[in-house]
Each structure stands twice: as structure tokens, then as C-alpha cells.
Structure 1
Amino acid sequence: MSNITAADVKKLRDQTGAGMMDCKKALVEADGDYEKAIEILRTKGQKLSLKRAEREAKEGVVIAKVSDDKKSGVVIRLSCETDFVAKNQDFINFADQIASIALENLPKTKDELGALPLGPITIQDKIIEQVGVIGEKIELADYELLESELVVPYIHMGYRAGVIVGLNQDGGSVEEAGKDVAMQVAAMRPIALDKDAVDPSIIEKEIEIGKEQARQEGKPEQIIEKIALGKLNKFFQENTLLNQGFVKDNGSTVKQYLQSVDKNLTITDFKHLMLG
């Protein structure tokens, strides 16, 4: 059996983040073979990941970042089981590292992001490895990409929510407006940019809800449809970003606020991820 030194254990711990005893056991099992010990720790993570696959991972962190030229942005949600892990700086740094890799490569999907390299292995394999290190379920739960003339990020409530907002212009005043709108998204949680972007199935459901409410209120059948459409318009005002009342000035909508900055300024798209 190879002589396992404290320096060997520390080297493996620095590489993997696993506990000192786990590193020592892996080195002993691998008879001092460093690469084999890493594989043993990864296998442990995979086994633990399978055991915890059905567990809920509602805690975690959301990271929103933009490129240096501010024309691309990403937001990711890295989930875990407990608030204790979510608040750990190493976990936050890990999520930030994944977001940085996303920003460098601009993958289109979560699966593409997971397949990108993080050191000698993929992001997804590193997540599995961290399951063994931390001892609870960890997953890359969500990922969104946005590209526009200007993209502005916002992280809300200690990494519990993240927003990226795309605008059709750039510049200092436009960026400030973008920050205001990003905070609006985090606070008011719009479901779409405007009424044209709302899923038709949601519109159909809201119309049916409006009709049923009108009937329960005893309204005549011949005006049920009109009442339902009126309720739908109110739904659009409350739930679509450009039509929402601007939180910093209830006298204007978000669309009107943007036009007060520049008559042609508007939001091209937004992405919002949150825990839960």
C-alpha cells in the first residue's frame, strides 16, 4: 500500500472540494493513485445523486450576469436542498463560475450548458461530484440566455431571484432605465412582455374564468362575453411588463416610463428566474 501523506490528502481536497476523511479513504482505496481517487469520489457523488434524485431542491442561488459589451446576458438557477448550503460562499462561487462559463460560450439550452467543460470534466459531472462533496441534491435547474442592443442584470433578495432585461438602445440613461425595469420584473413578476406574447392557452383560460365569475355574479348571458374580455384586459395590465403600472410612478405604465426616457425606447425581452 502506498504511503498516503497529508499533502496528498490536501491536494485531492483542493481539487475536488471533498472532505479530508473522504479524500483519505479514496486515496487508500486507490492505493495512492491520484486520478483513480478522483474517480472514486465522483462515483460516490453519482451514487448519492441517484439516491437523492426524488428529493426536492427548492433552495439554491440565482445568478444573473452580462458580457463586458453588455449585449449578452445569462441567468442560471443552481438548486440545492437546504438554505444552509445555499448561503455557503463556496456554493455561491460555484454557481457564479457556471454562469461565467455560460456567458463565455452562450449555449442555447440548459443541456448544452451542462455539457460544457469546467476544468477536466463537464459542468454536469462537476455538479454530480459536488453532490458527493456536499451530501445533498444539487441540480442546474434553469438557464436563460438573452441577446440585445443592451442587456441589464439584476440579482434580487440575496440570490433568490435574478433578472436580465434586453433593450433596443444603449447608453447611460437607457441602462438606468433598464435597471429600473429589471427591479420591476423582480417585484411584479410579469408573465410576458405584452399581450401579444401571452400564451394563447392562458388567454383562453382567463376568458373562461371571467365568464364563470360573471355568471356567478348573476350577469345577463348576453353580456358575459363582454365582461370576460374586460377582465382579460385588466389581466393584461397587471401581468404583462409593458402594460404594468411602473412601481416608481404609479401614474404611468412601464411603456410610458421608457418613452419618457426616449420616445423609441422599449424592452425587447426579459428573463426572470427565482427559487421555489
Structure 2
Amino acid sequence: MAITAQEVNKLRQMTGAGMMDCKKALTEAEGDFEKAVDILRKKGQKVSASRADRETKEGTIVTKTNTDQTKGFLLSLTCETDFVAKNEEFVSFANTLLDLAVEKNATSIEAIHALPFDTLTVQEKIIEMTGKIGEKTEISHFEIVEGDAVVSYIHSNGKLGVLVGLKNANGDVTEAGKDVAMQIAAMNPVAVDKDGVDATMVQREIEVGKEQARAEGKPEEMLEKIAMGKLNKFYKENTLLSQAFVKDNSKTIAQYLDGVSKGLTVSSFKRIAIG
């Protein structure tokens, strides 16, 4: 019997399986959706849909830079258990996906999903992997950072990764970049400097500062000034260039970088953690 594209798409929406798999299953089941679902389940395809509401709090992060280290890429592939996350095949798959994304100039997770992978798409390959390992698997993050030099860092547990873009980089600044990446991993700054802090966050800090001062019995005419003082402290503790360098608290990150190479600074960064 003839199977319509609408029927194939309906089964795909139900199961998350690939278009060709859905078409074959419906053909084999003579158009019976329940039988088609059972056929897909036997092939492991139904696992993706049945685990769609499961949380992926484990996984691995992989990074890569281009040959001249001016562009860095970070991808997180997540799953449900630490046992799977540490599996060599799972980590290898994450690296393969990142290599493919870089090779094909993908700029988003959606673009990676659409890339060809053997005879499938990446999205279909991930569904196949889900069926194979019996856990929900997904690309949770894909980040790109550019700069005069880009340095990457992955924490020892494989679940926290950082990309740092450096500006005014003269000579080899890899060691300095690694120090800054480890700073970002440890201190989790909200922005490079105060100009990069979201306006909503700034306003919230001001309002919190006012309420704290008011609760302490400070006069109303002093609240604004006190709140701005608290905001400056927030900037110092939570923006990267103003933070004290964890390896030498006598310097800020800005001072440390300038000491490594005059004018060296951070243009952007990305910090991704799993779990």
C-alpha cells in the first residue's frame, strides 16, 4: 500500500525516528501505526521518544581550535548517567560531532543536527545512539569564540569547559590564556567587564542594594549612593577583568594580563557546565 509523506511525518513526530526508518516501518506494518511503533521499538528507535522527558545531567564536553588558534569551538554531548558519559565510545562520538561541525562551518545545534553523518543526518545518528545505549542523548551546547588568540580548557571531570578569546595577543599567550580559562572555570564571572553585564542584572543589584541599606536603617537620601557602592563591589567580584587573580590575589586579571604582554586583554569567553 502507498504510504503518504504526512503519515511518515506523523510517525516521526511520535517516535523521533528517521524519515526512512518510519517509512519502512509503516510499509512493513501496512499502515498500522501501533505495529509500526513496535517495529521501531525492536530496532531501538522508540527509545528516544520514550525517554524524551528524561533529564540529561551527565555527559562530556569537548573543545577544538582552528590551526592558527583564532577561533575556538565547544560542544557538550549529554546523557543520563555518569557511567555512559565516561564510556570511550560516547566521548569519541562527541569528538566526531565537533570535528564534523567545525569542518562544515556549522554555527548552531540545529545546523549540526542537519549535517550528513554516514547515510543518516546527525540528528538521526543521535537517535540511533540513544537506542543503542538506552539513554536520552543530546547536544546541549555548541559555542564559538573568536579572538586574536583563543585558548580552551576542560576541567578534569570533563563536565566543565571554557573558551577564552584574547585581544592584543603578541607572541605565545597560551599559558596566560589557560590561567584565565581556569579563573573563569573556578570563579564563574558574569561578563568580561562591567559594560558586558546585562542591564536587568545591574538594575536588580541596585534595587537589592537599596533594600539592604533601607533594612539597615540608612536614610533614604543615602540609599542610591550606598547601592552604587554595592554595585561597584559586585562588578569587582563578578566581572572577569576586575576579579582578583586566583593565583596571585595582589593582581586583578586585567593587571595580570597586561603584565604578561602590554595591552593583552580578554575580548570574550564562554563557560559551559554540565549538571
TM-score range, shorter chain: 0.7 to 0.9
AA partner of residue 97 (structure 1) = T
Is 2:64 the partner of 1:65? Answer: yes
Determine the C-alpha separation between the residues in 1 that align with 2:66 and 2:219.
56
- Quick one: structure 1 residues 122 and 42, their matched pair in 2 at CA, closer, same or farther if it must change by over 3 Å? farther
Partner of 1:165: 164
Is 2:107 the partner of 1:108? Answer: yes
Partner of 2:270: 271
Is 2:198 the partner of 1:236? Answer: no
Partner of 2:259: 260
Determine the C-alpha separation between the residues in 2 that align with 1:241 and 1:216.
30
TM-score w.r.t. the length of structure 1 is 0.82
The Cα of 1:111 is off from its aligned counterpart by 1.1
- 1:87-166 alignment runs, 5 A limit: 87-166=86-165
CA distances 1:111-168 after superposition (whole Å, capped 9, x unpaired): 1122222222222211111110010111111110112221111111321111111112
The Cα of 1:98 is off from its aligned counterpart by 1.2
Secondary structure (helix, strand or coil) at the match of 1:76 reads strand
CA distances 1:36-73 after superposition (whole Å, capped 9, x unpaired): xxxx7799444211111111111111112111221111
Q: Is the deviation greater in 41-50 or in 117-126? A: 41-50
Determine the C-alpha separation between the residues in 1 that align with 2:170 and 2:128.
43
Determine the C-alpha separation between the residues in 1 that align with 2:151 and 2:41.
37
Determine if contact 1:153/1:164 at 8 Å carries over to the other structure: yes
The Cα of 1:102 is off from its aligned counterpart by 2.2
Determine if contact 2:41/2:47 at 8 Å carries over to the other structure: no
The Cα of 1:204 is off from its aligned counterpart by 1.0
Secondary structure (helix, strand or coil) at the match of 2:263 reads coil
Q: Is the deviation greater in 157-166 or in 103-112? A: 103-112
The Cα of 1:224 is off from its aligned counterpart by 0.9
TM-score w.r.t. the length of structure 2 is 0.82
Determine the C-alpha separation between the residues in 1 that align with 2:203 and 2:106.
33
Mark the runs of 5 or more structure 1 residues left unpaired by the alignment: 1-25, 30-39
- Quick one: structure 1 residues 177 and 227, their matched pair in 2 at CA, closer, same or farther if it must change by over 3 Å? same
Determine if contact 2:80/2:136 at 8 Å carries over to the other structure: yes
CA distances 1:186-209 after superposition (whole Å, capped 9, x unpaired): 111111111111111111111111
Instruction: Provide the aligned C-alpha RMSD in A.
Output: 1.9
Partner of 1:32: none
Secondary structure (helix, strand or coil) at the match of 2:100 reads helix
CA distances 1:87-130 after superposition (whole Å, capped 9, x unpaired): 11111111111121222233222211222222222222111111
Secondary structure (helix, strand or coil) at the match of 1:54 reads coil
Partner of 1:246: 245
Is 2:199 the partner of 1:200? Answer: yes
Secondary structure (helix, strand or coil) at the match of 2:223 reads helix
Determine the C-alpha separation between the residues in 2 that align with 1:43 and 1:230.
64
- Quick one: structure 1 residues 163 and 169, their matched pair in 2 at CA, closer, same or farther if it must change by over 3 Å? same
Partner of 1:187: 186
Amino-acid identity (%) = 54
Mark the runs of 5 or more structure 2 residues left unpaired by the alignment: 1-24, 29-38
The Cα of 1:171 is off from its aligned counterpart by 5.1
AA partner of residue 191 (structure 1) = V
- Quick one: structure 1 residues 135 and 264, their matched pair in 2 at CA, closer, same or farther if it must change by over 3 Å? same
The Cα of 1:265 is off from its aligned counterpart by 0.8
The Cα of 1:211 is off from its aligned counterpart by 1.1
Determine the C-alpha separation between the residues in 2 that align with 1:168 and 1:84.
40
Partner of 1:223: 222
- Quick one: structure 1 residues 228 and 46, their matched pair in 2 at CA, closer, same or farther if it must change by over 3 Å? farther
Partner of 1:10: none
AA partner of residue 136 (structure 1) = E
CA distances 1:213-253 after superposition (whole Å, capped 9, x unpaired): 11111111111111111111111111111111111110111
AA partner of residue 56 (structure 2) = A
